[in-house]
Chain A
């Protein structure tokens, strides 16, 4: 057993910078590199790609990142844990194996975790009496069954630990929870039992703090002026001990800032009830964490308490829920706000003249620059120019496309000063509905498979 164990997060979300993981590998010591490539809508998009091509449906960014760093990762013995498998972990495995062969990395072991994707099992589960009711509004899943586009169970840390124990240097999963990408390696290294709930809760807190990458190292920080060298912001590293305490730090020489405040910012991110943070592995009590600054860019967390998890897994289901489109124009002053408001009225009046109307809650009018994000909180401004953003949503794709055709004409048939139209007519795109549900744990079995190059 080595101690401390260093686990970094190099990818906070789908679309995060490739520099995060590349620099973590290059710029200092590391044992594990955790990478989160998924968001709720991602799974639905990946299922669509997979339906067109059976070898698609995973995060290709992950393979592109490895293409630039795999030899160094292998040489340094860094293990990688990523939920990059999306809805097709086995295709992702093949792509990584092929890359490793191409780079001549003989002996590298790549593992996958399967069992989270229950899309094809939905009819059977419903037939068995599982209702998979929407956790937000209690509607049964059968009400949208024909529109479902993806369904994945949030898998916890034990499956990750199992894959590491089977010898994987690179662990690829589908919908592994973000904290489990960190908790899995800690279980594996320290031999923690899944029933040691205080330790699992500590690992969950650690995973939560780093799961958004640089958002705990000075990114999106209220006192942003205090953050040095934000361009070279360091991504976070957990220095974990077997007793469940850990430090959060970053590599020396990197930009950014870690102190009590940056950590508390991230502890509060996407928080519900801080006493009961629910996950597949435990119920963590975030109010039990003791936080102390322990030097420059170094914060210690200890004393985290937790309890058993619930007997259900959370399931993330997505479904086709209509269409939307939005477009924008720039309106220069004088009287930019008044002219933008007139433009918005004109668009909706013109589509109505053509028989297309929308309810108020299907329409969006934003006059960006006048105080949209903080509407009602700060006084509305009339700046020298504004960006007018218009949008609609509807079940009828044709209506949405018709709306999109009435934005550009404003340049010549509206008030003066309308410009900045780029990107062509906005076209209808799918609204991907999110359907959170619960499934008894007995209904889900995960499996791991490891292959050697």
Chain B
């Protein structure tokens, strides 16, 4: 098992009522692993209590990065949210807690 925090770094922020979680690897080999294993389904399951909507995934090969949009994850978003993390600032660290088989 590998914890994503050991092979990648991440940043997140808000996109309306969703958050974006960008995660990138430090080398091509780890990026290929993330690209293959870090699926929309796994991310949705990891964030099951946080992300109530669907998950989208984009690839940016030049950055060795994947970008996920977690829809409906901010309790209304912006001023409408009551949540402490109304902007999804901590979702990037949350994805790095994920463990995948390698």
- Residue numbers of A with Cβ under 8 A of B are 40-41, 136, 220-223, 261, 264-275, 286-291, 321, 324, 326, 364, 366, 368, 372-378, 389, 391-393, 430-434, 436
Chain B residues with CB under 8 Å of A372's CB are: 84-85
Complex Cα distance, B16 from A272, in Å, reads 11
Complex Cα distance, B24 from A41, in Å, reads 31
Q: Which of A40, A264, A286, A321 contacts B24 (CB 8 A)?
A: A264
Q: Does the CB pair B82–A265 fall under 8 Å?
A: no
Asked, given contacts A364-B83, A374-B93, A433-B79, whether A268 binds B20 with beta carbons under 8 Å apart, the answer is yes
For residue B32, give the distance in angstroms from its CB to the closest CB of chain A: 16
Q: Which of B9, B26, B61, B82 contacts A287 (CB 8 A)?
A: B61
For residue A317, give the distance in angstroms from its CB to the closest CB of chain B: 12
Q: For residues 12 through 26 of chain B, which have their beta carbon under 8 Å from a beta carbon of chain A?
A: 13-17, 20, 22-24, 26
Interface size classification for chain B: 35 or more
Chain B residues with CB under 8 Å of A326's CB are: 82
Interface flag for B58 (CB, 8 Å) = yes
Q: Which of A272, A321, A374 contacts B80 (CB 8 A)?
A: A321
Q: Does the CB pair B84–A377 fall under 8 Å?
A: no
DSSP class of B's interface residues: helix, strand, loop or mixed?
A: mixed
* Chain A CB within 10 Å, residue with most, of B17, B22, B59: B22
Q: Which of B15, B47, B62, B90 contacts A272 (CB 8 A)?
A: B15
Chain B residues with CB under 8 Å of A431's CB are: 79-80
For residue B62, give the distance in angstroms from its CB to the closest CB of chain A: 5
Q: Which of A41, A273, A324, A366 contacts B84 (CB 8 A)?
A: A366
Q: Does the CB pair B78–A389 fall under 8 Å?
A: no
For residue B71, give the distance in angstroms from its CB to the closest CB of chain A: 10
Interface flag for B94 (CB, 8 Å) = yes
Complex Cα distance, B97 from A53, in Å, reads 50
Q: Does the CB pair A433–B82 fall under 8 Å?
A: no
Q: Which of A265, A272, A393, A432 contacts B78 (CB 8 A)?
A: A432
Asked, given contacts A222-B93, A264-B24, A268-B22, whether A289 binds B62 with beta carbons under 8 Å apart, the answer is yes
Q: Does the CB pair B67–A373 fall under 8 Å?
A: no
Chain B residues with CB under 8 Å of A289's CB are: 62-63
Known A-B contacts: A271-B58, A287-B63, A364-B83. Give 18 more (CB < 8 A): A40-B79, A41-B78, A222-B92, A261-B26, A268-B22, A268-B63, A269-B11, A269-B20, A271-B20, A274-B58, A287-B59, A287-B60, A374-B97, A376-B49, A377-B98, A430-B79, A431-B79, A434-B16
